[in-house]
Structure 1
Amino acid sequence: MSGMRVTGIRTALSTVPLVLGLLGTAAGPAAAVDSHEPRPGKPLTCRGKGVDPSALVRHRSEIVINAPLHTVWKVQTDVERWPHWQTPVETAQRLDHGPFRRGSAFRWTVPVPPNPSTPATSLEITSTVRQIEHGACIRWTGPAIGEGLRIDGVHVWNFTQVKGGVRVSTEETHTGAQVEADVPTATRILREGLEAWLRELKATAEVPAHNRLR
């Protein structure tokens, strides 16, 4: 565990409710997200590929957004605008150009304050889109790396038009020595991060276009 005590892990992880999806803090009413517990049934997939089936840390959640599908999709895939609406994201940079597509890669950062085991640092996440179907699903993977901390994530998003808007479903898994040292805590943090991401996505997409992302 590279000398990191579990208490240090908890402190570091508590500032990283995102890692490719561990994103955000648990701000706002929890009722905005449909479920705090993983839903039964088959894992989410995109073009036949899903999350890591062997991962100990996983969560699935969803929300209905009262906005057109094209709006929800644009907000989610315009990754360089993430810092404007995702509270924890400090920077976000596309590593390729053109439409968001299979093979697209992006690097984003979130701060990690000092704790008893590690100094203040930034967690750098490099995500690569592995599967995508426009307006329907995205699957990306990649590592999140900071001083004394590494998490490998697989993140799947599904977008479905329903009565009242778009149901956005998301599922993510994490692997790595630090998160696997305290699975319940890591799972709770992942849950909080995914639900915060969904709430912020909903809040942003539901804003009238002329007021959005200023």
Structure 2
Amino acid sequence: MALAPSSFETSMDIDRNAPVIVAEEIRILAPPARVWDLLTEIDRWPDWNPDISTAVLGGAVAVGSTFRWTTAGLAIVSTIGEVVPGKRLAWSGDTHGIFGIHVWTLDPGDSTGRTTLVRTVESWSGEVVRQDPEALRGQLEAAITAWLGHLRSEAETLTPSTTHL
């Protein structure tokens, strides 16, 4: 994961007036650095999240960088709008009349630094969303819940470098 230090920003938020807003959180039994690496190694998302079939980052994890990804059969181009290393990552993108803003926040889950509290919130707006916000809210809730589950599963999986005998 390459970070461009001059490209950090701390001001991106969801659209608080969007017809669909979903917020979820999960506690993961892995240090924040491990969770951060999984979120920012965008090209590797399909390796651990079966709901994402492709993901390609065009450059460093930095404000203004774009990535192309496919989820639920939808091709999306997203632009990173905030990077606070180890703490916050946010992007926006649109597909098929839905404009989304997704913000991830990581905090230590305990005083030992061995767990992470992951909070994520996403807003959807656009004409398509205004036509049937309840159905789309259900789809987004299911997608975020699944993503968090996959993230937890991957982060909590012991790898040879983290296994201590």
Partner of 2:69: 108
148, 161, 183: which is aligned to 2:108? Answer: 161
Q: Which secondary structure state, in structure 1, belongs to the residue aligned with residue 160 of structure 2? A: helix
Q: Which secondary structure state, in structure 2, belongs to the residue aligned with residue 210 of structure 1? A: coil
RMSD (CA atoms): 1.8
Partner of 1:128: 79
C-alpha displacement at 1:165, in angstroms?
Answer: 0.5
Q: TM-score, normalised on structure 2? A: 0.85
5 Å matches for 1:136-147? 136-144=87-95
Higher relative contact order, structure no. (Cα contacts within 8 Å, ≥ 6 residues apart): 1
61, 73, 76: which is aligned to 2:39? Answer: 76
CA deviations on 1:37-67 (whole Å, 9 max, x unpaired) are xxxxxxxxx8233100220111100000000
Aligned residues: 151
Q: TM-score, normalised on structure 1? A: 0.66
1:111 & 1:50 partners in 2: Cα distance? Answer: 24
1:176 & 1:210 partners in 2: Cα distance? Answer: 45
83, 87, 93: which is aligned to 2:56? Answer: 93
Q: Which secondary structure state, in structure 1, belongs to the residue aligned with residue 89 of structure 2? A: strand
What code does the residue aligned with 1:94 have? L
- Structure 2: give runs of 5+ residues left out of the alignment: 1-8
5 Å matches for 1:12-51? 47-51=10-14
CA deviations on 1:149-181 (whole Å, 9 max, x unpaired) are 321101111000022600000000011222221
197, 200, 207: which is aligned to 2:147? Answer: 197
C-alpha displacement at 1:111, in angstroms?
Answer: 4.7
Q: 1:143 to 1:161 in 2, by over 3 A?
A: same
2:66 & 2:30 partners in 1: Cα distance? Answer: 26
What code does the residue aligned with 2:105 have? N
